[in-house]
Chains A and B, each alone.
Chain A
């Protein structure tokens, strides 16, 4: 592999891992939002929200 290939490989892997990290953070966030929505729909109120 000549030198350019190394540079490309480094950037490619970095882009991939960063994309995975960002993707996972967003996916995790959406998942918990969905859990929260289903729980709210099921009529579960948090203690601090009750009258």
Chain B
């Protein structure tokens, strides 16, 4: 996936790694700043909103738990889209996007699990309950780790690209199936009267901070993703140059 190969394909604005890096250099600081601002505003509004009538103050965890769960899904969907880019359109940067998104997605999924279990502790009395949503997010976390392990195992980028793209797509197709089966598995054993975490309608004053927080964390995710992609391109450039240096060592 080195430079001169990319020029052969249909050039979309981001196809050329060098141009991608220059664009990324410009966009990242702005995106990062915006993300920080949005998160700050959301948390400030969240902490000034009235407490939830049933759960008291622990509802404040919702402001970060829901965005994290959303980002876990968003991250995997982005990887699936990039995987399509690798397999269907052969976009040179698609594989870079998959490899870069995996660890960040995994981090947010882990956060979703942790905050979910902390939020559930007062209600259920234990740190972990095999609640349908928490379990499917946990399975998603395993799929993220599988993808990261695959990317680490195959160090030759071109070979790993196809493999991780296929795995990402298969994983993505399976998410609804897992969701359905876990729900079914959960209701099968658990007494149905599991306390529903978020009420049927969220009060407006709680909804706004939630939306802004979700926006903020999504921007944060995109910032990290762009930075990770830029690093991945540099890593491949370093590898290519090291191979070159090895071949040059004889002539020099």
Q: Do A and B share a direct contact in the complex (Cβ within 8 angstroms)?
A: yes
- Of A11, A25, A33, A47, the residue contacting B224 (CB under 8 A) is A25
User: By the criterion CB–CB under 8 Å, are A7 and B60 in contact?
Assistant: yes
Is B214 on the interface with A (CB-CB < 8 A)? Answer: no
Given contacts A10-B65, A44-B244, A47-B244, contact A25 B231 (CB under 8 A): yes
Is B160 on the interface with A (CB-CB < 8 A)? Answer: no
The number of A-B residue pairs with CB atoms under 8 Å apart is 92
B245: nearest residue on chain A (CB-CB)? Answer: A44
A33 CA to B58 CA, complexed, in Å: 43
B100: nearest residue on chain A (CB-CB)? Answer: A25
A sample of 29 cross-chain residue pairs with beta-carbon separation below 8 angstroms, ordered by A number, consists of A6-B61, A6-B118, A6-B119, A9-B118, A10-B115, A10-B119, A14-B64, A14-B111, A14-B115, A17-B111, A18-B220, A21-B104, A21-B107, A22-B224, A24-B103, A25-B228, A26-B227, A28-B228, A32-B231, A32-B235, A35-B234, A35-B238, A36-B237, A36-B241, A39-B241, A44-B244, A44-B248, A46-B3, A48-B4
User: By the criterion CB–CB under 8 Å, are B118 and A10 in contact?
Assistant: yes
- B residues sitting closer than 8 Å to A (CB atoms) are 2-4, 56-58, 60-61, 64-65, 68, 103-104, 107, 110-111, 114-115, 118-119, 121-122, 220, 224, 227-228, 230-231, 234-235, 237-238, 240-242, 244-245, 248
B225: nearest residue on chain A (CB-CB)? Answer: A25
Query: Could you tell me the dominant secondary structure of chain B's interface residues?
Result: helix
Residues of B within 8 A of A13 (CB): 111, 114-115, 118
User: By the criterion CB–CB under 8 Å, are A39 and B245 in contact?
Assistant: yes
Residues of A within 8 A of B121 (CB): 6
User: By the criterion CB–CB under 8 Å, are B248 and A28 in contact?
Assistant: no
User: By the criterion CB–CB under 8 Å, are A28 and B231 in contact?
Assistant: yes
Best-buried of A6, A13, A24 by chain B (most CB within 10 Å):
A6
Residues of B within 8 A of A39 (CB): 238, 241-242, 245
Expressed in whole angstroms, the minimum distance between the Cβ of A37 and any Cβ of chain B is 10
